[in-house]
A = this chain, B = another copy of it.
Amino acid sequence: MDGARGCQAYVVNVSPQEPDTVWVTEIWRSAEDHEASLAARGVRELVERATPLLAGPPERTELTPLGGAGLGP
């Protein structure tokens, strides 16, 4: 996602307490930028390759950033 329009952070994390869980922290300038990134060339193929590897459907927590340090333009 590096270089994807409006992508301010896309960080892959693991949890010391949940070794089988991957957390992805994404910060996007807008919902539209995020939607557009999913249509970018190759992304759908990546999602299709990754999905069978998951133990279940991804859980998603959607937040609205109010502000802070580290947010891009």
What residues make up the interface of A, taking CB atoms closer than 8 Å to B? 1-4, 7-17, 23-25, 27, 61-72
Contacts and interface: CB of A to CB of B under 8 A. Distances in A.
Contact of A27 (B25, B61, B66): B25
A7 B66 contact: no
A14 B64 contact: yes
Contacts of A3: 69
A47 B65 CA distance: 20
Contact of A67 (B11, B64, B67, B72): B11
Given A25-B25, A27-B25, A9 B63 contact: no
A69 B16 contact: no
A31 to B, nearest CB: 11
